[in-house]
């Protein structure tokens, strides 16, 4: 495994947890998400005049946008129904196993015994956090749907990033598509509420938009360098960062079980990095 790819994915996980902490701590979740995605599109806009067009990846970008629309809606509904500590591990926990299975079938990426063991540990640790004191059935359902869409867009975007002329091309045009498209849909959906939220929360919204670029930009770059099953699972170290941020920023209670589960995830991450 290329060490740089692993570092990119760890950076992606940390930034992803920070983005979701900002979203969870805000007011209206859909308006907040519109602000985040719109900000990310504006930030990358100048780079669209520098990077090449994503020839060969337009179809993957369109598919990614459709999946992300479902993903973000399910994410919002999950956050509206339960604490971040309860639903975030579920949505991130089911994703690596599903993404690994699809990547093996669709992309032909290899899965060694070590990678399989790491994926199992990461998934087991995240699911243990969630199901020790599970959220409501409704919130759990939205979290599971979120996890399924994470797996779907992971494989689609990995394919798209490999098909594009460069990682930068797919990253920039991907955020332009997703940010402007989904940001506009959510903003129109919320109407006046969006403008109230934007006025009150524009600073954390812009920060989260920038962190979104760091998070998923690092992931897409990493997918061009290494195999998806290992890297997708490694990104779920965001759960460890998420538990820490939920405790110290959102003031949510972190039980011993959740702390132990985070340690299991960290152990799985070490195996994923070290496995041949």
Q: Centre a 10 Å sphere on the Cβ of residue 188 and count the other Cβ atoms it contains.
A: 10
Distance CA(214)–CA(238), nearest Å, equals 13
Tokens of 195: 């403008």
Of the pLDDT bands very low, low, confident and very high (cuts 50, 70, 90), residue 123 is: confident
pLDDT at position 129: 65
Of the pLDDT bands very low, low, confident and very high (cuts 50, 70, 90), residue 171 is: very high
Mean pLDDT over 248-252 rounds to 75
Mean pLDDT over 164-179 rounds to 92
Of the pLDDT bands very low, low, confident and very high (cuts 50, 70, 90), residue 201 is: confident
Total domain count for the chain? 1
Furthest C-alpha separation in the chain: 53
Mean pLDDT over 93-112 rounds to 70
197 versus 126: the higher-pLDDT residue is 197
Distance CA(214)–CA(209), nearest Å, equals 9
Distance CA(233)–CA(275), nearest Å, equals 13
Of the pLDDT bands very low, low, confident and very high (cuts 50, 70, 90), residue 53 is: very high
pLDDT at position 40: 94
Tokens of 226: 């290494």
Kindly report the pTM of this predicted structure. Answer: 0.76
Q: Tell me what percent of the residues of the chain surpass a pLDDT of 90.
A: 23
Q: Is the pLDDT of residue 14 over 80?
A: yes
CB of 86 closer than 8 Å to CB of 30: no
pLDDT at position 241: 76
Mean pLDDT over 205-217 rounds to 92
What is the domain extent for residue 101? 3-274
44 versus 273: the higher-pLDDT residue is 44
Question: 30-34, 114-118, 190-194, 255-259: which range is least confident on average?
Answer: 255-259
For residue 134, the 8-state DSSP code is -
CB of 68 closer than 8 Å to CB of 123: no
Length of the chain in terms of residues written: 276
CB of 125 closer than 8 Å to CB of 264: yes
CA–centroid distance for 214 within its chain = 11
Residues 6+ apart with CB under 8 A from 73: none
Tokens of 91: 């949505």
pLDDT at position 169: 94
């Amino acid at each position: 495994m290329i060490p740089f790819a692993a570092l990119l994915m760890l950076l992606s996980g940390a930034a992803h947890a920070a983005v979701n902490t900002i979203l969870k701590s805000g007011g209206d979740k859909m308006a907040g998400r519109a602000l985040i995605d719109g900000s990310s599109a504006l930030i990358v806009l100048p780079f669209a005049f520098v990077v090449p067009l994503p020839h060969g990846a337009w179809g993957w970008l369109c598919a990614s946008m459709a999946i992300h629309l479902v993903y973000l809606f399910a994410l919002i509904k999950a956050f509206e129904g339960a604490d971040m500590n309860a639903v975030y591990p579920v949505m991130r926990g089911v994703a690596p196993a599903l993404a690994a299975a699809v990547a093996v079938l669709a992309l032909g990426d290899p899965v060694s015994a070590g990678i399989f063991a790491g994926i199992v540990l990461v998934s087991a640790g995240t699911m243990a956090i969630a199901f020790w004191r599970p959220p409501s059935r409704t919130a759990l359902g939205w979290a599971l749907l979120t996890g399924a869409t994470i797996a779907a867009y992971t494989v689609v975007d990995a394919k798209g990033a490999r098909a594009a002329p460069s990682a930068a091309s797919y990253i920039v045009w991907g955020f332009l598509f997703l940010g402007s498209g989904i940001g506009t849909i959510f903003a129109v959906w919320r109407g006046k509420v969006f403008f109230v939220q934007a006025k009150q929360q524009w600073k954390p919204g812009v920060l989260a938009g920038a962190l979104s670029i760091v998070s998923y930009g690092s992931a897409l770059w990493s997918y061009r360098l290494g195999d998806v099953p290992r890297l997708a699972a490694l990104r779920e170290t965001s759960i460890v960062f998420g538990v820490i941020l939920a405790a110290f920023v959102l003031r949510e209670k972190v039980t011993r079980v959740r702390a132990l589960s985070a340690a299991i995830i960290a152990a799985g991450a070490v195996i994923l990095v070290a496995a041949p």
